[in-house]
Amino acid sequence: MREAAKGLMRSLGYNAVAFPSAEAFLRSRQLSRTTCLIADFNMPGMTGLDLCRRLSSSGTPIPTILITAYPDDRARDSALKAGVVCYLTKPFDESDLLSCIQLALATDEP
């Protein structure tokens, strides 16, 4: 899924970098360059929601889109309350993801 999302983003004209985990992303040099983050809700180690919360609490919030194959209303509510821009359920339509990316990028503008 990670590589498919990266390929989709690049085909839409976005510069995309994929990471195997939230921890790998946090250790990367891409952190300060990232204007929109797409993360799976259920990643090994740190979840996508935990990543979003950690970024916010560290003073480096990044507009985040969470995706999940296991929709849960409580998880969705928690994610949106934490500041997640979109919560998408797999499978989702490319146009839905594109709308979320546009919303996230608009959120990131000063």
Instruction: Identify the domain containing residue 92 by its residue range.
Output: 2-108
CA 25 vs CA 42, 72, 74: distances in Å: 15, 25, 26
What is the distance between the alpha carbons of residues 86 and 79, in angstroms, rounded to a whole number? 9
pLDDT of the residue at 10 = 84
| The predicted structure's pLDDT at residue 11 | 86
Which pTM does this prediction carry? 0.90
Number of domains in the chain: 1
Could you check whether the bond before residue 63 is cis, i.e. omega within 30 degrees of 0?
Answer: no
pLDDT digits (tens, 9 = 90+) for 8-54: 888 888 889 999 999 999 999 999 999 999 999 999 899 999 999 99
CA distance 45 to 22: 8
Q: C-alpha distances in angstroms, 17 versus 4, 66, 67?
A: 11, 16, 17
Per-residue pLDDT of 86-107, as tens digits, reads: 999 999 888 999 999 999 999 7
* Cβ neighbours for 85, distance < 8 A, ≥ 6 positions apart: 63, 64, 65, 100, 103, 104, 107
Task: Look at residue 107 in the predicted model and tell me its pLDDT.
Answer: 77
**Of 56 and 2, the one with more pLDDT:** 56
Q: Which pLDDT score is estimated for 96?
A: 93
| Better-predicted residue by pLDDT, 6 or 23 | 23
Domain harbouring 63, CATH code: 3.40.50.2300
